[in-house]
Structures are given as structure tokens and as C-alpha cells.
Structure 1
Amino acid sequence: MLIREATAADWPAIWPFFQEIVAAGETFTYPTDLTEEAGRDMWVLSAPNRTVVAVDGSGAVLGTAKMNTNQMGNGSHVASASYMVDPARSGRGVGRALCVYTVEWARAAGFRGIQFNAVVETNEYAVKLYRSLGFEVVGTVPGAFRHPVEGYVGLHVMHLAL
């Protein structure tokens, strides 16, 4: 697996699983009826922020991550990131590889920490992955996410000091 900067040519491969994940409404706070244009505008970031893809040996896109400052101004020393793995490719370590990549990016870029603002507490795979890499839940906003199956569940704020 190779993780590289995303290009405009990658978007047609990202959009189908991006749309599937967003429309399911289980893990992202994005509108479930997000248009392709709006999705691209939200996901594909400009420098100094980054969007990357994980690809296999044939060049097929397995997953993607976006990395950015968590806040502007006096909060810009903390990074944030979001991840999407093609559900057809889950269980292959793609999410872990993308997360490790973003932690290394944040360290190299001089960030003092990484903060995830809205990790759905029922997204057990993500919470377990982030904890295994040293992230801690520093707070949970009760009932802040309307899950389509579980009802109102909490959103974790997770942090990793760098």
C-alpha cells in the first residue's frame, strides 16, 4: 500500500465510497444528501492542509484522509484529520496506515497535538484504532449525534499530544 497526495484524478474513485459512507449517516456529521461538488469541496483541501489517498499496487484507491489545522489563529498549533476507507476494502489495515501517516505528518509539520472533534461513540472500530495509537477521549458531548439506528449518541473529542 502506498499513501500519496490526492490529485483531481482520484476524486472519481473516492466519491462512490465517500457518498456511501456519508449517506449511511453513521460516522460523519456531514449532511446525508451531500452533493458530489459539496463533498469534494469539503474533502479535498488546499495547502498547507492536505488530502491523501491510500492505493494498492494496481493504483486502486483504498481509502483517503484529509489533514488540517484544527482551528485558526491561536489554535493552529493543533492538527486534525478525517478518514474514509472504502467499505469493500475494510479490515486490511488501510485506516491504521492512514492514521499513522497523519500522525507522522502532524509531527513533521510541528503541530503540538492532534484533536478529533467529533468521533461518534458508536464507531467502535475508529475509537479502538485511535486509542491503540495513543489518542485519549478527553470529553464526550452526550446526544450530539443523531445515529440512524442507535438514536442520539455521544460525540467524543479525542486528543493525542505530540
Structure 2
Amino acid sequence: MKDLSEYSYRPAAGIMLVNREGKIWVGQRLDSKLEAWQMPQGGLDEGEDAEDGALRELEEETGISRGLVEIVTRCPHELTYDLPEDLIGVVWKEKWRGQRQTWFLARFLGEDDDVNLQTPDPEFRAWRWADVDDLPAMIVPFKKKLYEEVIAAFRAHL
């Protein structure tokens, strides 16, 4: 068993992107054999503002530019998740035990044709719009609690 006191949480941000019908954007990762879907999220660059990082991650992962989204609200506190022990020190090759994320709710102002997974460094093999209440069952098990917290933080704004 690893001594987790040596590991900290990677600074990160995520976006719950909602369309006009109230559905949430999810993508299926290229690097996973699981039938798991996730919202756009990722690590922050050194000194990067969480909102800028979330919008950068959105564009890098989905091809959706920041001009096609409107930030509705920000989660009032950071949310964390822990990686399974066998992935700690492997996923990011650094001393991270998981991520501490700042989440944003954003409205998608574009059209489905604006989504382009063929980005310079693709992360997703497929995407779709999902019902918000289906999200916790769609994500990898170790992020389920995090997704429940994101939903609770934004439910009043959906």
C-alpha cells in the first residue's frame, strides 16, 4: 500500500456543458477500454486561472471554442477525487493522488457540427448529449462521487 501522504492533488478544472435541450456533453476517452463517459476536464497549467483552464481544456478536447460557450456559474468550492491506488504515480508520472478541480457550468451556444474530436491531441473517440441524472452511472467508478457533487452544485441552474 502506498503512503498517500507523499502525494497531493493536481490542480484542475472542468466544464459541465449544457445544450438548449438541457442535455450534458460527455465524451468517451480514447485511452480507456471501459464504457465510461466524462465531461471535459483536465489539469491547469502553471499559474493558469481556473476558468481559462476549463475553457482551454474544452477546446483542446472537443474543438468547441470559448466563443461558443457562456459561463453560467462556478462551483463555490473545489472538488476532489482520488485515483485508484494502482494508477497513483502512473497516470501523470508525478506525485498526484488525484485532482482538486474547479467546476464551471456553461451553456453551449453553438451547433453539434461545432464539435470536432479530431483535435491536435485527441482525447475522445465519441461524444453525445446525456441526461444529467445519468452522469454518475456513466463515469468511471472512482469519479462517481465527484459527479454527484458537480450535479448537486449546478442543479438549480440547469
TM-score, structure 1 as length reference: 0.26
TM-score normalized by the length of structure 2: 0.27
